[in-house]
Amino acid sequence: MQLNRLRLPLFIIASFLFGLKTYFVYRFMFDLSIENALQEFILFLNPLASAYFVFALSVWLKPKNQIRYLRVAMLLGTLVLYFNLVFYRNFTDFITIPVLFQGSNAADLTSSILTLIHFEDLLLLLDVVLVWYLSKRLEEPAVILNRHAKIAATAVTFLLLAGNVVLAEIERPMLFVRAFDREYLVKNIGLYNYHLYDATMHTKTKAQRVFADGSDVNKIGNYMREETGSNEPSEMYGVAEDKNVIFISVESFQNFLLDSEINGTETTPFLNDLKESKDTIWFKNFYHQTAQGKTSDSEFITENSLYPLDRGAVYFTHAQNEYHALPEILKNNGYYSSVYHSNNKSFWNREVMYENIGYDHFFGEESFEETPENTFGWGLEDKEFFKQSIPYLKEQKQPFYSKFITLTHHFPFELPEEKANIDKYNSGSQTLNQYFQTARYTDEALEGFFKELKEAGLYEDSIIILMGDHYGISEFHNKAMGEFLGKEINPYEHMKLQRVPFMIHIPGYEKGEVREEVVGQIDVKPTLLNLLGIQDMRDLNFGSDMFSEDRKNFIAMRDGSFVSDEYIYTKDICYERESGAEIAPEEEACQPIREKVDKELQYSNDIIYGDLFRFYEFK
């Protein structure tokens, strides 16, 4: 009876309930960082404004259709919110349209996705159920308004949205110009408006190739030559001339694993020894620079010395572009090139991309024998993967460049109990707890691979590079990470956690050392060419030879953050790199590098979206 006396229109009730739910998800499930009262108010306002905009449109429909519209809109809006939540739990990021085109990867993600779905997620359906219930119980759930009243109800939408945008620009000036960080967009304009913005940008970038011309690449090329350091050979030029190159991309490995222990047992005993070897050069301040493409981004950056895209993965969206990649350059200098990865060829669209950038052969999952005993998690275990690769490697024409991509140490980091040689960690994060066991397993697999290379007679004539491809533990697990490291994980500490192993092992070198330079994946291509004694004066890179004295002194992340010799800049805060002390904004210590970072990220986007290398003569 009381429900029948309720006179508040159902679309307003739906707007309030859905907006409140969305705010709750933003605040406590996405765990978006809030720094002041204005940010909190904007975060509360934008979901209410977006919800009112969608549900107020119902007043223009016939009464019967109003109710149907509200029910469907509530359900679809909840699904969009939930899909982003599941995605965020793994990647600490939001879905973009290019990511949706990577749906062919979903079949390989089943076990990973299941770990990201929580029982309490059912609470997100409460408002949907309540609106459906009210639509059945209220005598007049629909509203009948005259034309002027409908216009007035709709006009409130534009006032709310305009107010939201004005406040967002006050809080984050040039929000839509420097839109590298999707978290800022979602915090300031809301998830749904962000998706509209993303759709607009997708349309714009699709048109960018049509209007591109050769003058753009010449301007960018001049910038690269001026900013990335001298073309003169560095001290390490030709050290590995004519040697085979074995490049091992180690899945989800971060530097904090090195020298760590669980209950007195070393996590990575082999890598701990390798980084101290007289034949190994270890760059301890090497950073991954990947974005939404994760492992494929890692491959793209290291092979091209270009940045990944701000949205989606280059391997999917622009695999047919013209590039001047490392495999192609090495092929022109007498190298046979190959990739070993026991996954299907379509994952990350590798089969198409590899052929385009010059690889001679891809040894995918069909090249390996998988059995129930040697397969778990994402596929063939790393120990068996390396063992089965040796016969193929022995048959290759020399010198060769061969890349190995491991699988075992992959989210959700599951390992059969009988294969674990280290205890699980004990924290509130199952992901972090399991992370050390798969890391130890991969460490053992790497040790076995080195022994097999020696037995096969390939070790002495090769240079072996090990690189972590991207982070394994996201911001979602900061609390557990803080417990393990014994300190709070703030933005400064989080940036430092993006360091991944990078070791250059040259048998017989005997001048191994630990290097302190701030370097990243963008620097791998020019560094490797220098080691091999290959000069390509027409090549274009955003990276520098890591051994060069006048190398570029910063590395940039795709969201606009950066690390330089002196500073770390992230989340709009400038820190001293060594001490972690915050630098006052008025000092503008980070501003000169910020301007270069923004320029480089935009230039890299221009190259990819415009397919600019088709206008450039590399030979």
| Domain boundaries of the chain, sorted by first residue | 2-207, 214-615
Residue type at 254? Q
Report the run of H or E that residue 375 belongs to, with start and end. strand 375-376
Prior bond to 507 cis, omega within 30? no
Q: Do residues 386 and 408 make contact, with C-beta atoms less than 8 angstroms apart?
A: no
Q: Count CB neighbours of 536 within 10 A.
A: 17
| pTM of the complete model beyond 0.85 | no
The string of pLDDT tens digits covering residues 115-166 is 788 888 899 999 999 988 888 877 667 777 778 877 887 888 888 888 888 8
Q: What is the pLDDT of residue 230?
A: 61
Q: Strand 400-405 relative to strand 244-250: parallel, antiparallel, unpaired?
A: parallel
- Annotated active-site residue in 295, 317, 442, 527: 295
* Cα–Cα distance for residue pair 370/368, rounded to 1 Å: 6
The reported pLDDT for the residue numbered 177 is 58
Strand order in the sheet with 502-505: 361-363, 336-340, 400-405, 244-250, 462-468, 502-505, 280-283, 513-515
Which residue, 324, 265, 270, 317, is CA-closest to 291? 317
What does the alpha-carbon distance between residue 366 and residue 370 come to, in Å, rounded to a whole number? 9
E strand or H helix at 480: helix 478-485
Our answer to whether residue 295 is catalytic in this structure is yes
pLDDT at 179: 55
d(CA 292, CA 308): 8
What lies within 8 Å, CB to CB, of 15 at 6+ separation is: 48, 51, 52, 54, 55, 56
Q: How many Å apart are CA 25 and CA 83, to the nearest integer?
A: 12
Instruction: Cis check for the bond before 47: say yes or no (omega within 30 of 0).
Output: no
Around Cβ 261, how many Cβ atoms within 10 Å? 12
**Residue type at position 219:** K
| CB contact set of 125 (below 8 Å; sequence gap of 6+) | 78
pLDDT for the residue numbered 112: 63
Q: Report which of 604, 9, 519 is spatially closest to residue 310, judged by C-alpha positions.
A: 604
Q: Return d(Cα 618, Cα 115) in angstroms, integer.
A: 46
With a cut of 50, list the residues of the chain below it in pLDDT.
Answer: 1-6, 107-108
Tell me the residue ranges of DSSP E strands in 104-175: none
Q: For the domain bounded by 214-615, which CATH number is listed? A: 3.40.720.10
Q: What is the DSSP string of 14-74?
A: HHHHHHHHHHHIIIIIS-----SHHHHHHHHHHHHHHHHHHHHGGGGS-HHHHHHHHHHHH
